[in-house]
């Protein structure tokens, strides 16, 4: 039997754990409520850069020793930065929980941020930035959110800018780290062969007591106006996103919007995949997406095709949107997308890292654990009327932002 436990320690650190009796390993994540949304234009990219730099050494460990202390026992260590959170996580066998906890807690509390390391890593991250700029599939999503969320720090790219990367120094990193990476801004989540009481004792052992820092205050996203934007790049295909801002995690209708997204363009049985790829063969890639944050989501359709077919693909997308605004989805199709979402949710739970991430996100965005049973029940409650109402609210042609990434000087026809 699996069990969830939640604690908050006097210093402000939150703990959430799930014990899974039948596994011999664990996934452990240290989640800081800090990301790109907490930056500005002059320091954009600093959260992602700090994520890299904590691996470069502490007062106790060199970069090599950080890796060896985990990998020598068959474990795994990594991190990722988002627009609202940064997570440092590890996986290992149950007997190595304290070892992994010790290493990560040292990394996040005691980074050296040496200037020679900063200079070297700035070059590495610049290469990562160039890789993104060379990859139209990644670049267009950054550009879409830059335009969609203009005026809000959500518009900033996670990786930052080359100019900023060249300006980071030891004092800047320490200042940002001391202000944002506080005990009161930390959630520790673990899933697998773990005991909650052990996590509590490890936290008390390895974290210095500090006064609880208040949660970061963020500027809420208000609204955006639809625009059409063309970005020129030396590429063969035209890449495009058609979409808009929509409801975020703080709106209970988001689950219905997720079902609408699946119905439109997730999976090979979705409406757009069938209409554009299977029936006409005019695009290799076409899919919907719903990238969600606390108070807003980026929702839309991404596709790539040759320049001659762009207008046709756009018109098909708009036609499918119109159908969904004017006609209720059949119960058969609604049941199909519900089973798709329920199935993908349950399949993801076979991995302790996915379970840890899901659990952490539940605490971060809802301040409680939303059990799988509760989620499945909420999916079942969504009706065809709910989908119709959401389609009329979020699939209006006049509200859509359109971005096209294409080869310079090609004549891209004005699309409908």
Architecture of domain 3-206: 2-Layer Sandwich (3.30)
Q: pLDDT per residue over 128-182, tens digit each?
A: 999 999 999 999 999 999 999 999 999 999 999 999 999 999 999 999 999 999 9
Q: 58 with 66: CB under 8 angstroms?
A: yes
Specify the pLDDT at position 370.
95
Residue-level pLDDT at 405: 94
Angle at 37 between CA 35 and CA 41, to 5 degrees: 110
Please name which of 32, 127, 28, 124 lies closest in space to residue 81, comparing C-alpha atoms.
32
Residues of the chain with pLDDT under 70: 1-2, 210-216, 409-416
- 396's CB contacts (< 8 A; 6+ apart) are 325
The answer to whether residues 301 and 265 touch, using CB atoms and an 8 Å cutoff, is: yes
Locate CATH 3.30.830.10 in the chain.
3-206, 228-406
Q: Which residue has the tokens 């820092």?
A: 213
Q: What global pTM score does this model have? A: 0.94
The pLDDT of residue 416: 40
For residue range 209-233, list pLDDT tens digits in order.
Answer: 765 555 667 889 988 899 999 999 9
Which run of H or of E encompasses 187?
strand 186-192
Specify the pLDDT at position 222.
Answer: 86
Q: Which residues are catalytic?
A: 51
What is the pLDDT, as a whole number, of residue 208? 83
Paired sense of beta strands 228-232 and 401-406, if any: parallel
CATH topology for the 228-406 domain: Cytochrome Bc1 Complex; Chain A, domain 1 (3.30.830)
């Amino acid at each position: 039997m699996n069990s969830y436990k939640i604690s908050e320690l006097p210093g402000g650190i939150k703990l959430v754990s799930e014990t899974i009796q039948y596994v011999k390993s664990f996934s452990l994540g240290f989640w800081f409520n800090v990301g790109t949304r907490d930056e500005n234009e002059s320091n954009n990219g600093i959260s992602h850069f700090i994520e890299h730099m904590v691996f470069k050494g502490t007062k106790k460990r060199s970069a090599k020793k950080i890796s060896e202390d985990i990998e020598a026992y068959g474990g795994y260590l990594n991190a990722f930065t988002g627009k609202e959170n940064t997570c440092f996580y590890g996986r290992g066998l149950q007997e190595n929980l304290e070892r992994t906890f010790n290493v990560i807690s040292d990394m996040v509390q005691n980074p050296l941020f040496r200037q020679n390391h900063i200079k070297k890593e700035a070059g590495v991250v610049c290469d990562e930035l160039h890789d993104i700029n060379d990859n139209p599939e990644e670049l267009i999503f950054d550009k879409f959110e830059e335009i969609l969320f203009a005026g809000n720090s959500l518009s900033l790219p996670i990786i930052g800018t080359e100019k900023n990367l060249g300006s980071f120094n030891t004092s800047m990193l320490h200042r940002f780290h001391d202000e944002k990476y506080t005990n009161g801004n930390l959630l520790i989540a673990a899933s697998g062969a773990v005991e909650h009481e052990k996590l509590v004792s490890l936290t008390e052992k390895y974290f210095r007591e500090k006064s609880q820092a208040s949660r970061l205050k963020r500027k809420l996203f208000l609204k955006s106006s639809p625009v059409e934007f063309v970005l020129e790049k030396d590429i063969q295909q035209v890449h495009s996103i058609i979409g808009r801002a929509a409801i975020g995690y703080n709106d209970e209708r988001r689950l219905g919007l997720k079902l609408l997204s699946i119905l439109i363009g997730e999976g090979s049985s979705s409406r757009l995949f069938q209409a554009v790829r299977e029936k006409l063969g005019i695009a290799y890639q076409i899919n919907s997406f719903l990238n969600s944050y606390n108070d807003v989501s980026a929702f839309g359709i991404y596709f790539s095709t040759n320049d001659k077919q762009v207008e046709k693909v756009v018109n098909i997308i708009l036609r499918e949107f119109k159908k969904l605004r004017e006609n209720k989805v059949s119960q058969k199709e609604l049941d199909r997308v519900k089973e798709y979402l329920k199935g993908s949710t349950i399949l993801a739970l076979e991995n302790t890292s996915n379970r840890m991430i899901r659990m952490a996100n539940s605490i971060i965005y809802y301040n409680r654990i939303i059990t799988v049973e509760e989620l499945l029940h909420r999916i079942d409650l969504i009706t065809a009327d709910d989908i119709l109402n959401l389609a009329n609210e979020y699939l209006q042609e006049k509200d859509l932002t359109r971005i096209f990434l294409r080869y310079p000087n090609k004549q891209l026809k004005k699309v409908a």
